Structure 1
Amino acid sequence: MKKPLFDEFEPVSETAWKQKIQMDLKGADYNGTLVTSTPEGINVKPIYHQDSQVDINLPHRGTQKDDWYISQKIYCGNARAANKKALDALARGAEGILLDIPNADVNLEILLKDLPDVGIQVHPQFFDLDFLKKLHSFKPKAYVHLDIIYRFSSSGNWFQNQKSDHEKHAFFLKSFDGYFSNITVNTSTYQQAGATVTQELAYYCAHLNEYLNHYCDTNKEHDGDVYNAFKERSIEEVHIERSQSAKTEKRINIDTTIGSNYFMEIAKYRAYRILTKTLGTAYGLNNLGCYITATPSLRNKSLLDYNVNLLRTTTECMSAVLGGADTIHNLPYDAFFHKENEFGNRIARNQLLILKEEAYLNKVANAADGTYYINALTKELTEKALEIFKTIEKAGGFVQSLFEGTIQRKIKESDAAERKLLKSNKKILVGVNKFPNAELPLQKEYEILPFQKIEPRKTLVTPIAAKRLAEDLEKSQMPK
C-alpha cells in the first residue's frame, strides 16, 4: 500500500518558516520589509500558517441553496421600454431583475407584464405607501429595497422628515408578508465616497442598529406589530399579530458596492454576515439573517483606457461571489459616461455568466472556507468594525453622528488619504497613473457627465457624495 503523497515530508511549523524568512532577509527588518499596513489598519503578514489559524463560524448565504444569482439593473423611466429590456435580459442569462424606479407615476401593469413572480428587486427612489400597496397586488413576492437612512445620508434630507419617515417605514415593515418588506441597509455611498472597508462595515452596523434600536428597544413605545416582527426568537419564523395571524419571514437586505482589493473584499462580505448575526444576537434575534446584493463600485473606474474597467469589474464580481454575496448585478464598463446600451449590458451580463457557467463559481458554497489568510482578514475586519461601531454608539448613534458631521469627516479623511496615494503613484490604477493608453485619448464631451455632480440645495446634513478616484486627473487631461 502506497503512503500518502506528503508523508515523507516533515511538517514545518510557523516558527520554522519565520526563522527561514529572517535568515533570507540577511538582517533587514522583518516588519518594515514584509509586513504591509493597509488603510483598514490591518497589518498583512507574509505568511499565514495552520499553527495560528483563525476559526470562523460563517453564517450561510441568504439564498436557499447557497447559490448566487445573476441580476441586471433596469432603469424604469419608461415602463414599456424597461419591461422590454427586463424580458430580454431574462431570456439571455439573467436570473433576476433589479428595477430602479424614479417616481410613482410608472405604469406597474405595463412594467411588470410577463415578469416572473420571484427574483424581482424593486428599488424605488421615493416613499409612497399607496404605490407599494399597488406593487404588492401585482408582485407580492417581489423584494422591495427601501432605506430611509440611506436617503438621509446620501442626499442630506429625509423623504419627508425623520418622524414621518420612521412611521411610514414601520407601517411598510408590518403591512406585508414575506420578503416583500424587509429592513434594507444600503452602504454603497460610504464605499464610493472613500470609506475604508472597516469604516464601511462599522457604518453598516451603526446604520442597521438605528433600525433595530428603533423597532426592538422595549424601553420605547412601538407599534406592536413591528415590535413583534423583530423581537421573536427567530426572525425567519415571525408571527405578526394581524387578522389572519399569517406566518412571514424577514431578513436584512444589504445593498453594497465591491471595492478593488480582491482578498479584502472577500473577507468583507464574510464579515457582513458575521456582523449581522452578532448585532441580531444582541437584540435577541438569534437567527437574524441577511441577503447581500453587490455591484462593482464606480470608485476605481476611469475614462482613461476605459476597457480596463472590464478587468476591474470581473475581479470585483469574483471577490463578491467568493465572499458569499447572494445577488450580483454587474456594472457595465461604460455606465458612467455612456447612456445605457445593449452592448455594455450584454458584456456585463456575460462576464457573470462566464464566472458561473464556465468558471463554476457556483459549485462550492463557501470557497474561501479554511483559508488562513482570508479567515484572519475576516476576524480583524469584524473586530475593528465593532470598535468603530461602539465609538459611534457612545457618541449618540449613526444619525446623530451624521448631524454632527463626524461620519462625513471620517470618510473625507479616508478619501483624501487614498487620493494622496494615487497622486504619489503608491496606489496604482492601470491605464490611469500607470501604463496609460495613448490610443484612447479623452473626449471633449460624453453622453453622460462623468464627473461628480454638485446640486446646490438646502440640506439638514452634509451629504455623503460618491466620487471616482480618477476624476481630478481626468479633468486635468481633458482636451480644451
Structure 2
Amino acid sequence: MKNKLFEDFQPTNKDEWIAQAIKDLRGKSFDEMLISQSLEGIQIAPFYTQEDLLDQPSLEGFHHRVNPQPQIPGISPRVWSNVTRVETKSEKDGNAIILNALQNGSDALVLVLNGDENLSVLLKDVQPAYIQIFLEPTSEPTQVFANFNSWLQQENHDLEQVFGGILWDGFVKRLIDDLGREELIRISRELLDLSHDLPNFKTISIDFSHYHNSGANAVQELAFGFSALIDLIEDFSVDPKVVFDNLILRTAVGADYFMEIAKVRMIRVLTQRMASLYHVSQKAEDVFIFSETSFWTKSRVDVQTNMLRNTTEAMSAILGGCNALEVLRHDCVNNEATEFSLRMARNISNILKEESYLDQILDPFAGSYFLEKLTISIFQKVKDKMVSIQSSGGWWNLVDQNIIQEEVKKTRIERQKMILDGKQTKVGVNKYLDSSSKAAPIETSKEEESNSQLKRSRESFLVENQTPSAS
C-alpha cells in the first residue's frame, strides 16, 4: 500500500520560511538577527533547504566514501583507529603503557622516538599486523625510520602487514627550526626509499594541525597545508602518484563543531581534486586522514572541562571522516602522562564507538543541506586563497618573507583577545569559573618565537598569563 501521508502537506520554499521568521521577529532584520559570520568569513544561516544547493558543485561523489569497505564479515561499516601516544624515556615503561593500551581499546600507536631506542624492549610482544604504528621523530627522521626497519627485520615481521606511517612534515619543521628546502627534499626522498619494502606504510605527511594549534582558522589551515603539498610535489621530481599513494593528511579538530566536521570532509575532497589535477586517479576513500583533538583549545585552569572539549572534538573528527583518531590527554598542557589521563583519552574513542554507535553509520552527514553548503563554502575560500598563494610564488616564497607566519599570528592574537575580552565564551576560563580551581602558574619557560617561526599556542593563553593586579 502506497504511503500517502505527506501528500496532505504543501511544500514550503525558503522564501516562505524566511517570511515566517521575519513575522515572528516582528519586523526586525532577518540578516542582523539570525545570520552569523564565522571566523573564516563564512555566513551561517539559521536553516538551509535544498534550494541552497541548486547552484553549488555537487559533493555526491564523496558521500559514504570515508573509509574502504571492511573485508572482514561483521565489521562495522565506519572504521577509525583509536590512537595512543607513547612518549617515555624508559623503553620498559613505554612497553607497559603500550600493552595496557592495546589490551584496553587502542588499535594504533604514535611512538615519539629519537632513533636510539631499543625497540625490542619498547615493542616487546607487539604485533604490527594487527594495529597501526605511527612514528613521530624528535631528531633525524631517517635514523628513526631505519631503526624501526631494523626491528621489523630482526623480529621477522611480515613487511607487507605493517600499517601506519611517519608523522613528519618538513614544512612545519621549517616553521619551527628553519629547515632548508633542499634538506627537506633530501629527507623526504630518503624516507620514501626506506619504505620500499613496506607497501602499507606511508612516509609523506602534510601537517595541517600545526597551523591550527598556532591559531590559524580553518581556511588558513587548509590553504597553507595544501600549498605546501603543491611545493613538495613540484620539488620532488617523482611521479605525483607516488606522493599521493604515500600521503598522510594530519589535522587537529577544534571546538567549532560543524565547521570542524566540514573541514575534515574538505580535506578528503581537496586531496582527491588535487590528485586529479596531477592526472592521478585516487579514490576518495583511500585518502588517509589522521586527526587529533586540539591543543589550541585546551586550558590549564579548568583541566576537567578539557574532557568535554575532547569529546566534541573527537565527534567532529569521526563524523567528518577521519581514519585515525588521537585524543589528546585532557591534562596535556599541565602534566606528564598518567594512567588516568591516558585511560580517559583512550576511552573517549571507545565510548563513541561502543556506546554512541558512531561506527554503525558510514557517513551520517551525507546530503545534509547545512554541511554540504558549509563544506562548499570552505572549498571556495580555500581555493581562492591557494590561487593567491601560488600567484605570490608559493608556500616557500611566502614563508621566506614571513607572510604566512605574520598572518597566522595576527589571527592568533585576535582569537586570544576575544577570550581575554569576553567576546567569546570559554567555559572555566572567562565564564562559569570553578572557584575551587587553582590559578594556572604563568608560563615563564615558553620559548621565544622569532619572526620567521610559527609555534603552537593556546586560545586561553592571554587569560591564563595575565599579570595579577596589585592588591
* TM-score, normalisation: structure 1: 0.87
Structure 1: how far apart are the matches of 2:445 and 2:49?
44
Corresponding residue SS for 1:256: strand
How far off its partner does 1:49 sit? Answer: 0.4
User: 1:123 maps to what in 2?
Assistant: 136
Choose 284-293 or 409-418, whichever is displaced more: 284-293
Q: 1:304 aligns with which of 283, 301, 304?
A: 301
Provide closer, same or farther for how the CA distance between residues 321 and 95 of structure 1 changes in structure 2, counting only shifts above 3 A: same
User: 1:136 maps to what in 2?
Assistant: 149
Structure 2: how far apart are the matches of 1:410 and 1:291?
28
Structure 1: how far apart are the matches of 2:304 and 2:96?
28
Q: 1:379 aligns with which of 376, 380, 389?
A: 376
User: 2:75 maps to what in 1?
Assistant: none
How far off its partner does 1:37 sit? Answer: 1.0
Corresponding residue SS for 1:426: coil
User: 1:9 maps to what in 2?
Assistant: 9
Which portions of structure 1, spanning 4 or more consecutive aligned residues, are displaced by more than 4 angstroms?
A: 449-452, 477-480
How far off its partner does 1:183 sit? Answer: 1.6
Whether 2:348 is the aligned partner of 1:348: answer no
Whether 2:411 is the aligned partner of 1:421: answer no
1:304–1:436 contact (8 Å) kept in structure 2: no
Structure 2: how far apart are the matches of 1:467 and 1:369?
34
Provide closer, same or farther for how the CA distance between residues 130 and 72 of structure 1 changes in structure 2, counting only shifts above 3 A: closer
Corresponding residue SS for 1:439: coil
Structure 2: how far apart are the matches of 1:353 and 1:112?
23
How far off its partner does 1:396 sit? Answer: 1.0
Whether 2:310 is the aligned partner of 1:327: answer no
Structure 2: how far apart are the matches of 1:382 and 1:398?
19
Provide closer, same or farther for how the CA distance between residues 3 and 138 of structure 1 changes in structure 2, counting only shifts above 3 A: same
User: 1:265 maps to what in 2?
Assistant: 260
Structure 2: how far apart are the matches of 1:168 and 1:272?
25
Gaps of 5+ in 2: 71-77, 153-158
The code of the aligned residue for 2:329 comes to P
1:147–1:186 contact (8 Å) kept in structure 2: yes
Spell out the pairing of 1:46-445 with structure 2 (5 A cutoff).
Answer: 46-53=46-53, 55-56=58-59, 57-58=61-62, 60-62=65-67, 65=70, 66-101=78-113, 103-117=114-128, 118-139=131-152, 140=159, 141-142=162-163, 143-153=165-175, 155-158=176-179, 161-177=180-196, 178-215=199-236, 222=237, 227-228=238-239, 230-231=240-241, 250-287=245-282, 289-442=286-439
Provide closer, same or farther for how the CA distance between residues 49 and 390 of structure 1 changes in structure 2, counting only shifts above 3 A: same
The code of the aligned residue for 2:452 comes to T
The code of the aligned residue for 2:27 comes to G
2:228–2:395 contact (8 Å) kept in structure 1: yes
User: 2:156 maps to what in 1?
Assistant: none
1:292–1:326 contact (8 Å) kept in structure 2: yes
Structure 1: how far apart are the matches of 2:434 and 2:350?
29
Structure 2: how far apart are the matches of 1:174 and 1:363?
39
The code of the aligned residue for 2:96 comes to K
Structure 2: how far apart are the matches of 1:360 and 1:477?
46
Corresponding residue SS for 2:296: coil
Give me the CA root mean square deviation. Answer: 2.3
Gaps of 5+ in 1: 216-221, 237-249
Structure 2: how far apart are the matches of 1:452 and 1:363?
45
Structure 2: how far apart are the matches of 1:407 and 1:205?
13
2:201–2:246 contact (8 Å) kept in structure 1: no
Structure 1: how far apart are the matches of 2:370 and 2:30?
18
The code of the aligned residue for 2:263 comes to K
Corresponding residue SS for 1:47: coil
Structure 1: how far apart are the matches of 2:364 and 2:110?
26
The code of the aligned residue for 1:274 comes to V
2:219–2:382 contact (8 Å) kept in structure 1: yes
Corresponding residue SS for 1:476: coil
2:329–2:344 contact (8 Å) kept in structure 1: yes
Corresponding residue SS for 1:16: helix
2:91–2:121 contact (8 Å) kept in structure 1: yes
How far off its partner does 1:4 sit? Answer: 4.2
How far off its partner does 1:64 sit? Answer: 5.0
Structure 2: how far apart are the matches of 1:98 and 1:168?
20
Aligned length: 443
2:84–2:106 contact (8 Å) kept in structure 1: yes
Structure 1: how far apart are the matches of 2:48 and 2:89?
50
Corresponding residue SS for 2:6: coil
The code of the aligned residue for 2:85 comes to K
**Per-residue CA shift, 1:68-89, capped at 9, x if unaligned?**
1111111143222112111110
Structure 2: how far apart are the matches of 1:111 and 1:310?
29
Structure 2: how far apart are the matches of 1:311 and 1:382?
29
